[in-house]
Structure 1
Amino acid sequence: MVQTVILATVVIYLLGMLAVGFYFQQKGMEDITDFFLAGKGAPWYLVALSFFATAIGAGGTIGLVAGTFESESITEFWSYGITLASSFVVAFLLGRKLPNTKNITIPSLLEDRYDERTRVIAVPFYILRFVSTLAAQWLAAGTIISFIFADTLTVTQGAIIGAVIITIYTAAGGMSAVMWTDFIQGVLLFVGLWVVAIVAIGDFGGFSAMTTQVTAVAPQAFDLFALNWTLIAAYIVTLVPSLLVRQGYLQRIMSARSPRDGFIGANLNGIIGFAYIPVPLLIGAMGLVMYADIDNPQFILPQMMRDLLPTWLAAILLAALVAAIMSSGDSFLLSGASNFVDDIYLRYLNPDASNRRQRRVSRIAVVGLMVGSLFLSIILPNIIDLIVFGALALTGGVLVPWLAAFYWPRGTTDGAFWSLAIGASATVAWWWIGYFADTSEYLGLHPIFIGLPLSIVLFFAISLLQEPEYENALRTARKHELTSLEERTLRAMDESAETYDE
């Protein structure tokens, strides 16, 4: 009876998500801006909750619980806490600028500001990033769905079911469907996990009794600083820049209906995230006492739900776990498809495609990306490890010319291209050396400490050695309504003219 209620609830929830997708399909979409950026009409609360649901996802929930259990410490906070803090940096630097941009993807905006070469070299790294991320999401979906169905489904079968459902509503409704399902899933995830934590603490006899029992098993369980400070510093250096180039997140801000909505939404995401992150940490710590002998720490959270909550509530919150996976999967699926459509199909294969053709190709790209990443996750699970360098390459190569596109009109096309090409290549090369040496930090250096400094030096050195290309910056500023960039460019042009006259 319990299992039947749980299964029925999860199935009803999944059908509801499909209904959202088809609702937005029926509303109609004029072009790929509607499909990939929700017609640039998202209000601040939709930006915030969609950003939160995408960023925290399955990794931030199930992964934090399992990580806390395995490390016997809440120091797992640092990796996700710094990521959440980074959202305030994103809000400050890009929150008011991205809503005005006219492009669908980051590589296309790089071409606007610099040249085609910069776009061409950036696209493969974004596609690799999304393939690897999606492969991880499908495996996570398979694990949880298999658990919910009491092992009547294998992890592979669960992964296929999850991938198909996510793909159907994403392909049907585009970004509008993704953002509204993320909104629903974000609320469900936030409220649901706090309920689990509060009930579990009550089962211990209160917060004080819980901490006493947990620290008896793991003395450092609640010591947030039981982590080497150098590792914390490494998180800051790698995670803060990373969020500034992660297209799947930035497209939420690009979808905002105004600069104000983009700025508020990005900041609110950070606030919501910090209010949420203690929950999986506490659940993982309590699992040290409640489930000391569990075989798979990823099952601590669903097992706690089933053991402590009424059947109806456990069923709803298990659906929230499925939501945690879906909210990341749909976002990366849509964002990756936008690179195929905008950066490859419309740029090189069929620039004059009609709006109807664009919508059709967009849906085909969503399905194709799902099939490709699902195939790789099933046939070659290690592909996730082998191409994770795609994410590192974005920070090591794309970050500098990307931010400079908004803030430094003196940057040149050669500076952008070579800083991206060599910075990304050096990051990837160092990662591969470490991979074969079985270490993530070859010679004690994280790959980002090799590629990013090279990228910075090359971009500014080459740009300063060349003639200014202010016309590129001015054209980009006016196209994308970047008022501050236009003002900087005009001021630099005036100063350059005065120097020449002298």
Structure 2
Amino acid sequence: MNLYTAVIAAIVLTLLAVSLARLGKVKTKADYLVAGRSLPAFVLIFTLLSSWIGSGSLLGGAENAYKHGFVALWQAGGGWAGLVLIYFIAPRARKFAQYTIPDLLEARYNQTARVLGVIAILLTYTAITSYQFIGGGDILHLIFPDMITPILGRYIIACFVIVFTAIAGMSSVAYMDLFIGLLATTTMCLALPALIHKAGGWQAVHAALPASHFTTFDDLSVIQCLELFLPTCLLLMGNQSMYQKFFSAKSEKDARTAVVGWIIGTIVLETVIVAIAVTGSALFPTGEVSKAPREILAYCGLHGFSEMSGPFRLLGALLMGAIFAKIISTANNWLFSPATNLVNDIYVRYINPQASNKKILIVGRLMVVLLGLWALFQSLGTESVLKKALYAYTIYSAALTPVILAAFFWRRATAAAAVASIAVGTVVTVAWDWVAPHMPTVIGQRDAIFPALVASLICLVAVSLASGPGESRQAEEIA
């Protein structure tokens, strides 16, 4: 246990050192919000990878894989599909060179679209941050079961994340992600074959589990697979945190190059995560982890290497540390992004347009603290990470991704249509748990993604076509 404590302590100190090292480079609004638009492709690759793969994959996706096998790749596969289109969006986003997605919404549509966009982002991003706190709390409880409860662990992780994020903004987040991305990718790729060997080889893993664990459908229908696939795909294509990384790139070329590395890293790492969870299902089919399957990756790190020689025990500790660091990294990204909205899209835009860089930095750090506390409050009432993830993904997928893609690719989209689309997508998702029981069974039993997305798209297309061509503004500049 001392080995695990040492590894976690070393990671925390390293992350703190990286944040403090970047602090001296943060002097202006652009430095804090978009790292002075200075990030090279190599750094972008790992900050994109680290921001995307967090508790949604490490807990929610792993839980799904532990229970159902490789069918869990439908959730990851949504992101892979989204990445293909992002390759073409990235240079356009860097050329636009703003600070946030609501900047884009106002430039392409109007102020109302900006404000509604901020609301949807706050709902989505604080929800995603909240289950990062859950994941980190679970890991601390596994390592220190007699000292730290899962709830206390959430408070501790929230403090870490708030401090790390507030120190140096995007510059801090990006360079911490570089360290974490390298650590996580290397450690997980080494841990998988070691765990398979402990299980007796891949044939033994296959023999220990139902055949359905090794198919891509299991007992899920096509509709259920799409309910996993679409929210992830659409969130990724419209993800503000991703666009902020593109806004932070040195150049359009760096943004496009980073996407290629991101595609490769995401496919490899998410496949490895699912494979580790499936192997863990064979190694630990019963016991405490079977009652909390979202902890399977951390459980493998803690117990999967305990009977092996010294180097393998170190690998187990590093696997636990890498998962812990990935959760912190993802929480940093998803917490920092909505804080920039409150600073750039509310404070600077409406409250104090003439604010000095010093005031902006103070307000930015204050927003990180307030939103971090809100995310912590949400985490205390969350039971299922997978359900919370799909809820958060759906808000963004239905409310923002359609109008963001239309801003880049459909010049006919109008301001009125964008406002209607964002409002309807948000309301349907948030209200679905109350509305669904009163709907026909064939609809009411479905997740919110299809009704919310269809309603949003109908509003976007129908209102655009009903508006005059002159209602579409500044499409030439952005598309």
TM above 0.5: yes
Aligned length: 468
| Pairing 1:401–2:397 present | no
> What residue in structure 2 maps to residue 177 of structure 1?
172
What is the aligned partner in structure 2 of residue 364 from structure 1? Answer: 366
Conserved? CA contact 2:227–2:449, under 8 Å: no
* Correspondence for 1:301: 300
CA separation of 1:293 and 1:362: change in aligned 2, threshold 3 A: same
Q: Is 1:85 matched up with 2:81?
A: yes
Give the match for residue 2 of structure 2: 4
**Aligned 8 A contact 1:397 1:423 in 2:** yes
Residues 145 and 307 of structure 1: is their aligned pair in 2 closer, same or farther, counting only changes over 3 Å?
farther
Partner of 1:285: 278
Amino acid of the residue matched to residue 44 of structure 1?
A
Instruction: Indicate the SS of the match to 2:214.
Output: coil
Give a deviation string over 1:262-310, Cα, whole Å, max 9, x none.
1221232121111222322222222233212221231432222444463
Report the Cα offset of residue 365 of structure 1: 0.9
* Residues in 2 aligned to 1:76 and 1:459: alpha-carbon distance in whole angstroms: 31
* Corresponding residue for residue 493 of structure 1: none
Identity, % of aligned pairs?
26
- Structure 1 residues 28 and 447 mapped into 2: Cα distance closer, same or farther (>3 Å)? closer
Matched-pair contact (CA < 8 Å) for 1:126–1:390 = no
The structure-2 alpha-carbon separation of the partners of 1:308 and 1:104, relative to structure 1 and needing over 3 Å to count, comes to: farther
Unmatched tracts of structure 2, length 5 or more = none
1:62–1:301 Cα contact (<8 Å) kept: no
Superposition CA RMSD, Å: 2.6
User: Would the aligned equivalents of 1:409 and 1:470 in 2 still touch at CA under 8 Å?
Assistant: no
Report which stretch shifted further, 324-333 or 419-428. Answer: 419-428
Are the aligned partners of 1:20 and 1:169 in contact in 2 as well (CA < 8 Å)? Answer: no
CA distance in structure 1 between the aligned counterparts of 2:176 and 2:63, rounded to whole angstroms? 26
Shift in CA distance, 445/307, structure 1 to aligned 2, threshold 3 Å:
same
Give how far 1:213 is off.
Answer: 4.5
8 Å CA contact 1:40–1:99 kept in 2: the answer is no
CA distance in 1, matches of 2:63, 2:104: 39
Could you tell me which residue of structure 2 aligns to residue 497 of structure 1? none
Is the 2:90–2:252 contact (alpha carbons within 8 Å) kept by the matching residues of 1? yes
Q: Distance in 1 between matches of 2:425 and 2:200?
A: 54
Please tell me whether residue 253 in structure 1 is matched to residue 246 in structure 2: yes
Deviation at 1:467, TM superposition (A): 3.0
Deviation at 1:431, TM superposition (A): 4.5
In the alignment, the residues of structure 1 paired with residue 222 and residue 307 of structure 2 have an alpha-carbon distance, to the nearest angstrom, of 38
Amino acid at match of 1:451: A
Question: Once the 2 structures are TM-superposed, how far is the Cα of residue 333 of structure 1 from its aligned partner?
Answer: 0.9
The alpha carbon displacement at 1:218 in A equals 2.1
Q: Quick check: 1:113–1:405 contact (8 Å CA) kept in 2?
A: yes
8 Å contact from structure 1 (residues 35, 174) kept in 2 = yes
In structure 2, distance between residues paired with 1:224 and 1:389 = 23
Q: Within 5 Å, which residues of 2 pair with 1:37-76?
A: 37-71=34-68, 73-76=69-72
1:266 maps to which of 259, 271, 292: 259
Q: Which runs of 5+ in 1 are unaligned?
A: 486-502
Query: 1:197–1:440: structure 2 CA closer, same or farther, 3 Å change rule?
Result: farther
Q: How does 1:204-215 map to 2 (within 5 A)?
A: 204-206=199-201, 210-215=202-207
Q: Deviations over 1:51-81 (max 9, x none)?
A: 111111133124433322222x221111112
Higher mean alpha-carbon deviation, 276-285 vs 180-189, is at: 276-285
**2:469 alignment partner in structure 1:** 468
> Are residues 337 and 86 of structure 1, via their aligned partners in 2, closer, same or farther at CA, if it must alter by over 3 Å?
same
- The AA in structure 2 aligned to 1:331 is N
SS of the residue corresponding to residue 141 of structure 1 reads: helix
Deviation at 1:390, TM superposition (A): 5.1
How far the C-alpha of 1:11 sits from its partner, in A, is 0.6
8 Å CA contact 2:78, 2:230 repeated in 1: no
How high is the TM-score relative to the length of structure 2?
A: 0.90
Q: TM-score, normalised by structure 1?
A: 0.86
User: How many Å apart are 1:423 and its aligned residue?
Assistant: 3.8
Change (3 A) 1:444 1:301: same
> CA offsets, 1:343-375, max 9 Å, x none?
221122211110111011111111111122213
Q: 1:160 aligns with which of 140, 155, 158?
A: 155
Q: What is the alpha-carbon distance in structure 1 between the residues aligned to residue 383 and residue 60 of structure 2?
A: 18
Give the match for residue 459 of structure 1: 460
Alignment-mate amino acid for residue 344 of structure 1: I
Distance 1:281 1:432 in 2: 33
- Structure 1 residues 406, 438: CA separation in 2 closer, same or farther (over 3 Å shift)? closer
Q: Please list the CA deviations of residues 10-48 of structure 1 after superposition, one character each: whole Å capped at 9, or x if unmatched.
A: 1121011001101100223322x2112111111122222
CA distance in 1, matches of 2:175, 2:212: 40
Asked whether the equivalents of residues 214 and 288 of structure 1 are also in contact (C-alpha less than 8 Å), the reply is no
> Within 2, Cα distance between the matches of 1:267 and 1:129?
26
1:223 maps to 215
SS of structure 1 residue aligned to 2:54 = helix
SS of residue paired to 2:185: helix
Cα deviation per residue 1:387-439 (whole Å; 9 max; x = unaligned)?
975542332232332222222333322222223223433344434323x5799
**How much has 1:257 moved relative to structure 2?**
1.4
